[in-house]
Amino acid sequence: MTLYYEQHGQGPDVVLLHGWSFHGGVWADVARALAARYRVTVIDLPGHGRSRDAVLRAFTPETLAESVQRVVPGPAIWIGWSLGGFIALAAAQHTPQTVTKLVLVSATPKYVRSADWPHAMLPSVLAQFAQDIETDYAATFTRFLSLQSAAGEDRDMLRKLRDELFLHGEPAKGALRGGLQLLRDEDRRAVLPGIKVPTLVIHGERDRLVPVGAAQYVADRLPDARLEIIPGAGHAPFLSHPAVFMQKLNEFVQYDKTSERSEQGYIQYDKTSEP
């Protein structure tokens, strides 16, 4: 299996992982900004974008993480948006030596609501998506995109998402089905306390796909996590609020709480020193 990927810049490795039905192009602005200091790898996940013909034996967070590690086998900062957050969590859980830092963007350990988990979408919403993609891909994803934004967010952000979504054609139906099944079945809540990788949890205050309570839950249970909630943002804060998103991301990726200054000369972030 061969994945499509692009690499930009030089320095410590950063991996950018997109969400369900999208491709790496959604990260273009973030990749460009990070490439000033890092070697940034942007991957089209199996069945998506220009990796449409790449087929996995099973569509799970573990197999997806393994496919990424074939491209970037060494230590890296893993940044995962939405479904990409599941993949980054799997890498941090099973191969923590390959994850120097973890950034979870609009991510959750469980996408479907249950009696003990209110911070999620109703099962019927996911089931409807699964039914609709079989008959009308374009209309289904137009509706899906409407859930990506908070009320009042810039329409240009939705236009960017729509343009990126269809830029390289439809994702493979098998990948779409596998991704929806993953979102329906996965529950990573129990593993969170064992993931000791330094983590930034960054989330839109008005996310309609993954309510902000999920981010608060994740940050509370990860041993070394920092939570940043972006006011007014929906499910794609790196597109709707790029300046504040990059500020929070740069603060986290550049700073190391183990020392006062980095090799590049930046003042280090120390969580214990927060007021």
For the annotated catalytic residues, the residue numbers are: 82, 207, 235
Helix axes 61-71, 83-94, angle to 10 degrees: 80
Give φ, ψ of 206 to 5 degrees. -115, 35
DSSP annotation string for the chain: ----EEEESSSSEEEEE--TT--GGGGHHHHHHHTTTSEEEEE--TTSGGGTT---SS-SHHHHHHHHHHHS-S-EEEEEETHHHHHHHHHHHH-GGGEEEEEEES--S--B-BTTB-SSB-HHHHHHHHHHTTT-HHHHHHHHHHTTS-TT--HHHHHHHHHHHTTT-PPPHHHHHHHHHHHHH---GGGGGG--S-EEEEEETT-SSS-HHHHHHHHHHSTTEEEEEETT--S-HHHHSHHHHHHHHHHHHH--TTSSB-TT-PBPP-GGG--
Which two three-digit tokens encode residue 250?
């740069």
8 A C-beta contact, residue 33 and residue 46 = no
